[in-house]
Amino acid sequence: MSAPREHGILMRAAQALLAPVLAVAIAMVVGDLLILTYGESPGTVYALLLEGTWGNAYGFGQVLYKTMTLICTGLAFAYAARAGLFNVGAEGQLAAGGFAAALIGLALPVATPAVAAVLLCTAGAMGAGAVTGAVPGVLRARFGASEVIVTIMLNFIVLALLNYAVASHLAVPETLHTEVMQAGFVSRLGAFLPAFAGSAANLTIVIAVIAAVVAWWAMFRTRSGFELRAVGLQPDAAEYGGVNVPRTWLRAMIWSGAFAGLGGINFVLGYKHYYEEGFAAGSGFLGIAVALVGRNHPLGIIAAALLFATLSQGGLAVNALVPKQLVDILQAVVILAVATTVPEVQRLLQRAASAAVRRGSTEQTT
């Protein structure tokens, strides 16, 4: 590997890692100050947070359960962001995916083979999410409508329509959810590892990781992924180079919605086995934070999803010492810190690279 290429790889790796690490460090300092205001020891609170998440199988299982959904909503935002789009509609797309998976599971005969049922429900979830994502994609590609406004408004429309369908036609009496599915169940981890018994963790986490790998391959190893990134960086230059920009935007929103819809199977297939009103609340917007901290890279999104899932579950673990809302503040601090440190890290790294080039030139001349 040539020295310039190796240097470029190191620079990109530093840019990808330094900002999130600094953001977490800043959040911990802010957390220390907030914990001290409650008269508690930061070390004790953080130890309790880790013990309630990674320190026991049940807590870690809950972390994995929340991670699955955040990976999918993070991928949804990142895929659109790579095309220069801001998808704020992952919550509606997630709910649509879960609803479609539940409908297919209800419609399939009980004797349907488990693998076939899971594949059909998963395809239905991705399809429903893709259709929901295609609406703002078409409006942006054909009419130049702002995908931010359209996706925000579409969240309300989709959730209201799904709630109406459940309340009017599918609800179990005196409940807010559909009937229990007949097919399409995904096993919980507790079925294989007794230590996870009682936790909501299930095998859909494997599907989410596979989706992240597929997204990475699609973004960085295919022609369509190159076009996607080119449009996101400079749509005019990409169009001059022969890329169909409107089609790329539409394709990005379709796949973005599909990734979000995939997250619906975590709750519907792996946990409750029915669609429930409000199950997607907050997950779409938290997915934006996951994508930002993960720098819109699928592998970074997996790590960021684990971080935010740990904080979310940890808030319940530390509630005996400090309010769980403190963890929500820490999540917000991480987001703000990433937003502010990324430009500064890039500036410092560019300055260091320029200094290295000048030193190299000086050494060659002497």
Instruction: Yes or no: say if 84 and 235 are a contact pair by the CB < 8 Å rule.
Output: yes
> CA-CA distance, 212 to 299, in Å (whole number)?
7
Query: What torsion, rounded to 10 degrees, do the Cα atoms 39, 45, 46, 52 define?
Result: -170
Instruction: List, for residues 9-67, the tens digit of each pLDDT value.
Output: 555 666 667 777 888 888 889 999 999 999 999 999 999 999 999 999 999 999 999 99
What are 187's two structure tokens? 């096993």
> CA-CA distance, 119 to 126, in Å (whole number)?
11
Residue 151, pLDDT above cutoff 60: yes
All residues at 6 or more sequence positions from 146 whose CB lies less than 8 Å from its CB, including other chains: 140
**Residue type present at position 154:** L
Instruction: Yes or no: say if 91 and 263 are a contact pair by the CB < 8 Å rule.
Output: no
Average pLDDT, the chain: 89
Return the closest-CA partner of residue 207 out of 54, 72, 114, 301.
72
Q: Where are the domains of the chain?
A: 67-294
**Greatest mean pLDDT range, 227-231, 280-284, 327-331, 337-341:** 227-231
Q: What's residue 171's pLDDT?
A: 60
């959904």: which residue's tokens? 69
Instruction: List, for residues 193-232, the tens digit of each pLDDT value.
Output: 999 999 999 999 999 999 999 999 999 999 999 999 999 9
Residue 128, pLDDT above cutoff 80: yes
- The upper half-sphere exposure of residue 317, i.e. CA atoms within 13 Å in the direction of its Cβ, equals 24
> CA-CA distance, 126 to 96, in Å (whole number)?
9
Distance of CA 153 to the CA centre of its chain: 20
Residue 358, pLDDT above cutoff 90: no
Instruction: List, for residues 287-330, the tens digit of each pLDDT value.
Output: 999 998 998 999 999 999 999 999 999 999 898 899 988 888 88
